[in-house]
Structure 1
Amino acid sequence: MRALILSGAGRYADPWHPYAETSSRLAELVADAGFDVEIREDVDAALGGLDDDVTLLVVNAGDPDRSSVDGEPLPPDAEAPAVDDGPLAAALERGIGILALHAAASSLRDLDAFDRAIGGRWEWDVSWHPPFGEARVHLVGNHAVREGLDDFTLEDERYSSLLLHDVIEPIAEHEQDGIRHPIVWAREIGPSRLVYDALGHDVRSYDSPEHRALIANAIDWLRHVPAPTAARPPATGAA
């Protein structure tokens, strides 16, 4: 089994997230699951040449529209490279597992296939997060990714008010000001599977044994593609 980790660099870098460090931690977890792992920082080229034998795609990259040093939006006349959507669209058709972490909710904005797959997005001026610190994670539902896990606490950011544009199956939430926000969810897209995990700001998140266990469960679920067509439990759609 072969896994490809897309790590934020170039126009997918930002001043807030140490992608090289977190991608290295992710590579350990993916390798522990039995995959041959490759980390690519040339994100656009890696997607444009996505090989048929890649069964797990890990997206750990930032917003290409805010890749300047200070994190401000790029000028309207800034030229973005053409990104080939075809290989990812074909992978979704044949069956691939996708693990999208943290800032991936704002990444790969040029790819319609990824936008359809992830089911929810970070939208500037709408989405937000409280200050970095202690985060209480509430496990919900009965999805296989949460099997054997209980609520836990870790040091991380808590993404809030992510905008859902398709059906998701919530796995974990956090509570802020009396409102529950989904931070981990699963999706099945035809024969493909996706797990989005909004945790993972820096390596302190991956120091949490509970978070590592959740990611290990996610990888185990994602490896079973093409996904079976048996009846699936009800999911939650965008409000």
Structure 2
Amino acid sequence: MTMSTALVVSGSGRWADPWHPFEQTSERLRQVLTGCGLEVTVRDDVEDALTGLPAVDLLVLNIGNTEGPDPDLPDLPERPGPEVVAAIETSLQQHLERGGALLGVHSATTALPTSPTYASLLGGRWVRGRTMHPPIGPARVEPVDVDHPVAAGLGPTELVDERYSWLETGPDVTVLCEHEHDEEQHPVVWARTAGPARVLYSGLGHDTRSYDSPAHRELLVRGVDWLLGRG
């Protein structure tokens, strides 16, 4: 039986930032995916990986953006130009059209802030000047769609993480898990279908402490099973 394949694209250069240890979290993702029986490749040459995307069963985006998350913070290296953005959009669309699954992790919602297409494919985005997170610390994430295979029977996820708040979500997503901040509920895990493909986004995974949580790892395993149509 042929193993399912996964590509983890790990943030570096202008697809990274000073706040997220992408190399470390990508290794933790690799461990989870390998435990799911996948043949896993990790690449940090982000633009080459995404514009020349190989045919894989699961694409994992563990990337970010050098633009400061708040307008008062300075930008870092230059952002990718429109030609690169368009090439990545096309490559991601083709991946989904051929039935490939997509998992976006944590700061993936920040990666292409000028691309409505990318936000639509992922199911949401970080809105600069509006989206935020309280200081990293103990967090509790609750399942809200108990009928979805990823969340059905899942208990609360307790972990140490950032809690992205006021993310913008698309109209076609199913919110699976939320957290509470400032007396409001905020979506942190969602799913969508895109023709023959499935997409999952998890706002969890700031650093390795997040992956130390058994409940977080269980959530990821459930997500992989759903993305690949298992069970």
| TM-score of the pair, normalised by structure 1 | 0.85
Cα distance in 1 for partners of 2:161, 2:76 equals: 27
- Residue pair 1:152, 1:210 contacting (<8 A) in 2 also: yes
- Are the aligned partners of 1:89 and 1:113 in contact in 2 as well (CA < 8 Å)? no
Structure 1 residue 123, shift from structure 2 partner? 1.1
Query: 2 CA distance for matches of 1:35 and 1:86?
Result: 25
Say which of 14, 30, 55 aligns to 2:57. Answer: 55
| Residues in 1 aligned to 2:225 and 2:123: alpha-carbon distance in whole angstroms | 21
2:91 aligned with 1:87: yes
Q: Which letter does structure 1 place at the counterpart of 2:5?
A: R
* Alpha-carbon distance, 1:79 to partner: 6.6
Q: Which residue of 1 aligns with 2:161?
A: 156
Deviation at 1:177, TM superposition (A): 2.0
Letter of the 2:229 partner, please give it. Answer: H
* Residue pairs, 1:1-239, within 5 angstroms: 1-52=4-55, 54-66=56-68, 72-74=74-76, 78=78, 80-81=80-81, 82-83=83-84, 84=87, 85-109=89-113, 113-141=117-145, 142-224=147-229
| Cα contact 1:64–1:109 (8 A) shared by 2 | no
Query: Structure 2: how far apart are the matches of 1:108 and 1:5?
Result: 17
How far apart, CA to CA, are the structure 1 residues paired with 2:75 and 2:50?
23
**2-structure distance, mates of 1:111, 1:46:** 18
Measure, in 2, the Cα distance between the counterparts of 1:86 and 1:117: 11
Shift of 1:168: 1.2
Deviation at 1:63, TM superposition (A): 1.4
**In 2: Cα distance, 1:167 partner to 1:38 partner:** 30
Count of aligned pairs between the two proteins: 220
User: RMSD over aligned Cα, in angstroms?
Assistant: 2.1
Shift of 1:87: 2.4
Letter in 2 for 1:124: R
The question of whether the paired residues in 2 share the 8 Å contact of 1:55 and 1:96 is answered with yes
Distance 1:173 1:50 in 2: 32
Is residue 64–residue 108 contact of structure 1 (8 Å, CA) maintained in 2?
A: no
CA contact (8 A) 1:98 1:194 kept: yes
Q: 2:5·2:40 contact (CA, 8 Å) conserved in 1?
A: yes
SS at match of 1:89: helix
Cα offset, 1:136, TM superposition? 1.1
Counterpart AA for 1:80: P
Separation in 1 of the partners of 2:192 and 2:205? 19
Task: Note closer, same or farther for the CA distance 1:153–1:162 as it changes in structure 2 (3 Å cut).
Answer: same
Q: Which is worse superposed, 115-124 or 196-205?
A: 115-124
CA displacement at 1:74 relative to structure 2: 4.6
* TM-score, normalised relative to structure 2: 0.88
